[in-house]
């Protein structure tokens, strides 16, 4: 029986560019036919003796090549030469840009009890600032005070940017006074998930390893929001390297029940908006990191189409799946923030400049909306609340069309996250610095990054080819059914994984509470780049409900 060290050495030989290399010094012993035999068993492929013998020169040469490549420094911001493209064959882009149409607000007045401002929407706060009923400095100090007050309870802030915020707020007030109004985000405080760089402040990625990391640039999303006049007040907590709600400062808490977590990885963003500590915050999603915290914290979250928002200045986890979007109190607030952050910057090669022609629907009467029939009829936890959501859509006049997603092994395709994440944090695995990460259980990044070393490069590429077929089939399915927007259970039915892989946008809205008195959600998804229609349908539904106007007690 071969010992464990020898078996690890065997594995090093079989997996292309994804070698283990974490626990041992570079192996000098030549690769043998026996090693190749054991390695092929890990891949589930059988080679005969002659084939194994023929490979040996290549395997030894490749291993030396891996060592040469590893000597080249690769920081997290360097993307691979291969770029993911979610656009299917035959897709027709919208070309004409139309004016952004926003719902008319009633006469918004400053409340006598200013504590009520904690749960005003972005649009309402913007109206107060524009009419000069309150200054940006006053509003910024108000939210800074709330963040400071509830930070020890919710653990949702990593870094307060107080000096910067007050400076930006004062500038906003001066500009508005001079008649230089930039738009509805001018003077509005916000928070950014601490995967996003802001020059002059730490960008920790939620990890003690990078606790003091100072990046010499500002993320495009933050730049665009600051250009719109928004005021950055805090860097929000993030599950370490974008997994869960546990970071080096502890577990971010859910304001609906601070004994529970805020989910992740956009944990601080969801928690702070729900608790009235921020009017809006920016989250990121690779596989549920906007949708999940939006759900459990009872806020509204938009995950845009892959390639709608630049990721420059954001930590890379999966270059083919990472996306950035807003977390707010209402659908229309999501539209306002998305309008500000979308578009190319010349730094993220996957981003396209395309129209966003948002306009609210006067009615859903006659609007075709798909729904995942089998998913809604299955036995799952939120079925009762979701059934009421379908009923409400029918009452609003929507024509609900049953359909199913094309059948693909979506969970198997998520090896993209492990492989790309393993590459993004390659140095941590090889240096054993991953031992410093907070979570060391099987279901955590250190183990995922190590395991990804055993995924052959060929299998990763094959998974991406299947992903191409899946995207094409979904495009044809939606086109055939003649609808752009469909509704789905947030978790049941596999849509969350499916659309994160395909790059399609999703909008997550609160739709009630569960038996533990925690918020639940319903999700709307749409054709690629159809955020305008997605948000219009979601707004019509949300306007007919009360859930987004409910807030946790004690905050």
CA dihedral 147, 149, 154, 155 (to 10 degrees): 70
Token pair for residue 482?
């003649």
458 in any annotated domain: no
Q: What is the mean pLDDT of the segment spanning 266-287?
A: 98
- How far apart, in whole angstroms, are the C-alpha atoms of residue 244 and residue 259? 16
Give a yes or no: residue 123 inside a domain: yes
pLDDT tens for residues 353-408?
999 999 999 999 999 999 999 999 999 999 999 999 999 999 999 999 999 999 99
- How high does pLDDT run on average in the chain? 94
- Judged against a pLDDT cut of 80, whether residue 16 lies above it is answered with no
Q: CA 104, 106, 109, 110 torsion: positive or negative? A: negative
> Is 91 within a domain?
no
Give 147-192 pLDDT, tens digit per residue: 999 999 999 999 999 999 999 999 999 999 999 999 999 999 999 9
Global pTM reads 0.94
Q: What is the pLDDT of residue 487?
A: 98
Encode pLDDT of 162-172 as tens digits: 999 999 999 99
Q: Which residues in 274-302 are b (16+ Cβ under 10 Å) and which e? A: bbbbbbbbbbbbbbbbbbbbbbbbbbbbb
pLDDT tens per residue across span 471-495? 999 999 999 999 999 999 999 999 9
pLDDT of residue 469: 98
Residues 6+ apart with CB under 8 A from 51: none
The CATH number given to whatever domain includes residue 227 is: 3.90.1300.10
pLDDT of residue 188: 99
Q: What is the pLDDT of residue 140?
A: 98
Task: Evaluate whether residue 262 is within a structural domain.
Answer: yes
pLDDT score of 103 more than 90: yes
Question: Percent of the chain having pLDDT more than 70?
Answer: 95
pLDDT value for 534: 98
pLDDT at residue 28, as a whole number: 66
Q: Which of 40, 136, 289, 525 is catalytic?
A: 289
Residue 540 has pLDDT above 70, yes or no: yes
Residue with tokens 């003077």: 187
Residue 363, in any domain of the structure: yes
* pLDDT range class, residue 4, cuts 50, 70, 90: very low
Please determine, for residue 10, whether its predicted confidence score (pLDDT) is greater than 70.
no
Query: What confidence tens digit (pLDDT) does each residue in 324-345 have?
Result: 999 999 999 999 999 999 999 9
13 occurs within a structural domain: no
Tell me, what's the pLDDT at 23? Answer: 40
The domain total for the chain is 1
Q: Which two tokens stand for residue 401?
A: 């069309």
Q: Where residue 436 falls among pLDDT bands split at 50, 70, 90?
A: very high
**What's the pLDDT at 2?**
38
User: What pLDDT score was predicted for residue 18?
Assistant: 39
Domain containing 280 equals 114-408+464-549
Q: Which ranges in 380-425 belong to alpha helices (H)? A: 383-395, 410-413, 415-424
> Tell me, what's the pLDDT at 106?
86
Cβ atoms of 78 and 336 within 8 Å: the answer is no
The answer to whether position 38 is within a domain reads: no
Of 265, 271, 318, 320, the active-site residue reads: 265
In a domain, 2, yes or no: no
Let me know if 265 is a catalytic residue: yes
Q: What is the mean pLDDT of residues 487-505?
A: 98
Instruction: Choose the catalytic residue: 193, 224, 235, 323.
Output: 193
Give pLDDT, residue 521: 98
Rounded distance between C-alpha atoms, residue 102 and residue 117, angstroms: 21
């Amino acid at each position: 029986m071969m010992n464990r060290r020898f078996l690890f050495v065997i594995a090093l030989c079989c997996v292309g560019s994804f070698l283990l290399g974490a626990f041992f010094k570079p192996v000098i012993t030549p690769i043998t036919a026996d090693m190749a035999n054991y390695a092929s068993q890990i891949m589930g492929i059988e080679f005969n003796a002659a084939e194994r013998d023929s490979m040996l020169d290549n395997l030894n040469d490749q291993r030396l090549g891996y060592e040469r490549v590893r000597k080249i420094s690769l920081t997290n911001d360097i993307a691979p030469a291969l770029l993911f493209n979610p656009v299917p064959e035959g897709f027709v882009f919208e070309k004409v840009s139309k004016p952004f149409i926003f719902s008319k607000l009633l006469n918004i007045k400053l409340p006598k009890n200013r504590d009520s401002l904690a749960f005003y929407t972005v649009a309402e706060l913007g109206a107060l600032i524009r009419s000069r009923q309150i200054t940006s400095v006053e509003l910024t100090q108000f939210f800074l005070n709330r963040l400071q007050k509830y930070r020890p309870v919710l653990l949702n802030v990593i870094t307060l940017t107080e000096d910067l915020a007050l400076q930006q707020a004062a500038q906003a007030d001066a500009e508005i006074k001079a008649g230089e109004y930039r738009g509805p985000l001018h003077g509005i405080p916000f928070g950014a998930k601490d995967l996003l760089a802001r020059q002059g402040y730490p960008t920790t990625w939620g990890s003690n390893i990078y606790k003091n990391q100072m990046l010499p640039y500002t993320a495009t999303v933050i730049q665009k929001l600051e250009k719109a006049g928004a005021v950055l007040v805090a860097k929000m907590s993030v599950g370490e390297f974008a997994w869960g709600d546990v970071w080096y400062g502890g577990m971010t808490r859910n304001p609906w029940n601070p004994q529970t977590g805020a989910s992740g990885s956009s944990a601080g963003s969801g928690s702070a908006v729900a608790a009235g500590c921020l009017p809006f915050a920016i989250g990121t999603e690779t596989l549920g990191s906007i949708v999940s915290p939006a759900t459990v914290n009872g806020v509204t979250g938009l995950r845009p189409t892959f390639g709608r928002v630049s990721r420059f200045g954001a930590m890379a986890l999966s270059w083919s799946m990472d996306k950035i979007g807003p977390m707010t109190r209402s659908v229309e607030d999501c539209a306002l923030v998305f309008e500000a952050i979308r578009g190319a910057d010349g730094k993220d090669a996957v981003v396209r400049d395309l129209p966003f022609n948002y306009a609210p629907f006067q009615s859903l009467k006659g609007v075709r909306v798909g729904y995942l029939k089998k998913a809604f009829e299955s036995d799952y936890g939120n079925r009762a609340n979701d059934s009421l959501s379908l009923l409400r859509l029918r009452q609003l006049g929507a024509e609900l069309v049953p359909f199913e997603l094309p059948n693909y092994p979506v969970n198997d395709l998520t090896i993209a996250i492990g492989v790309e994440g393993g590459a993004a944090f390659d140095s941590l695995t090889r240096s054993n610095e991953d031992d410093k990460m907070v979570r060391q259980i099987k279901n955590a990044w250190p183990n995922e990054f190590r395991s990804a070393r055993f995924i052959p490069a060929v299998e990763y590429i094959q998974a991406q080819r299947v992903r191409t077929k899946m995207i094409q089939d979904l495009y044809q399915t939606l086109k055939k059914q003649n609808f752009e927007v469909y509704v789905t259970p947030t978790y049941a039915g596999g849509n969350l994984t499916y659309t994160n892989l395909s790059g399609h946008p999703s909008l997550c809205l609160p739709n009630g509470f569960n038996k533990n008195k925690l918020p639940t959600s319903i999700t709307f998804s749409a054709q690629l780049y159809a955020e305008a229609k997605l948000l219009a349908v979601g707004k019509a539904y949300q306007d007919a409900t009360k859930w987004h106007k409910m807030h946790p007690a004690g905050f």
